[in-house]
Amino acid sequence: MALYKTHELFNLVLFFPSAALLPEEGRLPFTAGYFLSTFVLSPDLDLPFSVPSKRLGVFRYLFIPFWVRHRGVTHVPLIGSLVKLGYLVFLFVFLYFVLVGALRLAGVERLPSFDPFEALKKLAERPESFYFVLGVAVADAYHLLLDFISSAFRSLRRRRRASSPERSRSSRAARRRRA
């Protein structure tokens, strides 16, 4: 697995050609989703002490459900991105109802009329939302691609070291000494 600074650099380098492929009206929401995923909502949110988790400060504890195992659901292309965004929507709705309940318990009777489900529906219908989600998914895909590449190279290096002639000779000599 690559270091996190490598992930950030990899994503930053690939951002410009990716954004250039989009229509003008999709670039700003794509950029917002891309950078949010690169620097905060990374697939590595499943590690409590990863750089993105640390950036969240005390809010990282909101992502405890993802701390089950590393390379779990957050490392599944597209599904991981949608799960993280769905979780944020769930948190928004849950916190809204907690706030409304607390205000009612405090005796506030005239609350502004706001329907979080209607607001989310309107947001989902906007074309900008598609580009935002696309930005999150593309940044996550690049992160996962780098994870795959670095793991493959590491595995290849291990195999080469294990099958190198020097290592074979030294292991044969060690076996002779034991016998």
Reported as a single tens digit per residue, the pLDDT across 30-71 is 999 999 999 988 888 888 888 888 888 898 888 888 887 777
Q: How many residues does the chain have?
A: 179
Q: How many domains does the chain have?
A: 1
Determine the Cα–Cα distance for residues 117 and 135; give it in Å rounded to an integer: 23
Q: How far is CA 52 from the centre of its chain?
A: 9
Query: CA angle, corner 117, sides to 86 and 134, nearest 5?
Result: 40
What's the whole-model pTM score?
0.78
Average pLDDT, the chain: 86
Which SS3 state, helix, strand or coil, does residue 23 take?
coil
For 35, residues 6+ apart whose C-beta sits below 8 A from its C-beta are 15, 135, 139
Determine the Cα–Cα distance for residues 88 and 82; give it in Å rounded to an integer: 10
Q: Is the CB of residue 31 less than 8 Å from the CB of residue 19?
A: yes
Mean pLDDT in residue range 114-134: 93
Query: CA angle, corner 143, sides to 139 and 149, nearest 5?
Result: 140
What's the Rg (C-alpha) of the chain?
23
pLDDT value at position 158? Answer: 76
pLDDT in tens, 93-104: 999 999 999 998
Q: Structure tokens of 137?
A: 């998914």
**Domain around 101:** 4-178
